[in-house]
Amino acid sequence: MRPSSAVHPAPVFSLSDVLMLLVALVWGTSYGVSKQALSFYPVLGFLAVRFILTFVLLLPVLWTAKTLERRNAIGGGLPLGALLLAIMLCETYGVAHTKAANAAFLISLCIVLTPFAEWWLLRRKPGGTALVCASVSLLGAALLGGGPDAQLGFGDWLMLAAAVLRAIIVCVTSRLMWQRPAPALALTAVQCGVVGFGCLMLALVTPNGLPPLPTDPTFWYATAYLVLGCTVFAFFASNWALNHSSPTRVALLSGTEPLFGAVFAMLWLGEHFGVQAWAGGALIVAASMWAVLRRGSAR
């Protein structure tokens, strides 16, 4: 008699795989949308508005959670929120000082760093497939960014710092979710509260403070998209996927983010790309798909 696994083979794409590809899509577009919103409001004020609104939306989830789950969400969400605050500051200031496409490809370097962060923080030695896919993704990101002729400015270095912190946070989230099980949305609420009110406090202590909120509908459309799509959905999906997959696999699947970012920057912001850049995007997608098809080796 055949084993049950032969009769009912596991699907190539799991729910966590699909969610992470959708996260890559919305995060890829977030750089162009954020760049547009930043033309109306400064970085700290923009982040405060975005994440405080998200916190308010998710507060009922946190409030109605079971006592132990709420404690776990707060206990895990505070340190994760501090890490997320650092990431968002680096990313958003980076987006303000570089092209949207550059931001998208540079942040993808966390794909290369995550297997090593997982090895360091979680004592999980990466498999050969994960390392090869990460290397191919790095090559694709380099081509997407201009190859050997690429020039890194202040914003680019900030995006590199964000990539390092992203690699760390996926591993720390995985460990904390295992140690302190909590609903993904409740954990996201705490993280967003830390980021939003942290940015508000930083803005209030700066010499110029914050100007009045923008009245242009474009700013609020962009903010709504970032709150609902790039924060509520994306952070919930990422936290859920990290609880059902490995940090390396999650990072590899999000490797399609720079391709989505490049396409969106071309269509929305009018940025242009050559054959070399498109070849880099194809390598990133190919590496991510390879990771999915070789899921047994990548885990």
Scored b (16 or more CB within 10 A) or e, 211-230 reads eeebeeeebeebbebbbebb
Average pLDDT over every residue of 25-52: 92
| Residue-level pLDDT at 293 | 62
Average pLDDT over every residue of 242-252: 70
Q: Say if residue 155's pLDDT is above 50.
A: yes
The span from the CA of 60 to the CA of 140, in Å, is 42
Q: Token pair for residue 229?
A: 């799509």
Burial (CB count within 10 angstroms: exposed 0-12, middle 13-18, buried 19+), residue 299: middle
Chain segment 14-34, per-residue pLDDT in tens: 777 788 888 888 988 988 899
Average pLDDT value over all residues in the chain? 82
Label residue 299 by pLDDT band (50, 70, 90): very low
Q: Say if residue 262's pLDDT is above 60.
A: yes
Instruction: Please name the residue that has the structure tokens 């609902």.
Output: 228
Q: Say if residue 52's pLDDT is above 90.
A: yes
Label residue 280 by pLDDT band (50, 70, 90): confident
Contact 108, 255 (CB under 8 A): yes
Angle CA(176)–CA(235)–CA(197) in degrees, nearest 5?
85
The span from the CA of 10 to the CA of 170, in Å, is 25
Q: Say if residue 5's pLDDT is above 60.
A: no
Q: Token pair for residue 139?
A: 């090559």
Closest CA to 268 of 21, 23, 34: 34
Residue 151: how many other CB atoms lie within 10 Å: 8
More confident residue, 224 or 172: 224
Q: Say if residue 278's pLDDT is above 80.
A: no
Domain edges within the chain: 13-298
The span from the CA of 40 to the CA of 33, in Å, is 12
The span from the CA of 120 to the CA of 4, in Å, is 37
The span from the CA of 106 to the CA of 118, in Å, is 20
Q: Token pair for residue 157?
A: 């270095």
Residue 262 CB contacts under 8 Å (≥ 6 apart), including other chains: 28, 101, 104, 105, 144, 271, 273, 277, 281
Residue 39: how many other CB atoms lie within 10 Å: 12
The span from the CA of 285 to the CA of 282, in Å, is 5
Residue 128 CB contacts under 8 Å (≥ 6 apart), including other chains: 297
Chain segment 87-143, per-residue pLDDT in tens: 999 999 999 888 887 787 778 777 777 777 777 777 777 777 777 877 887 787 777
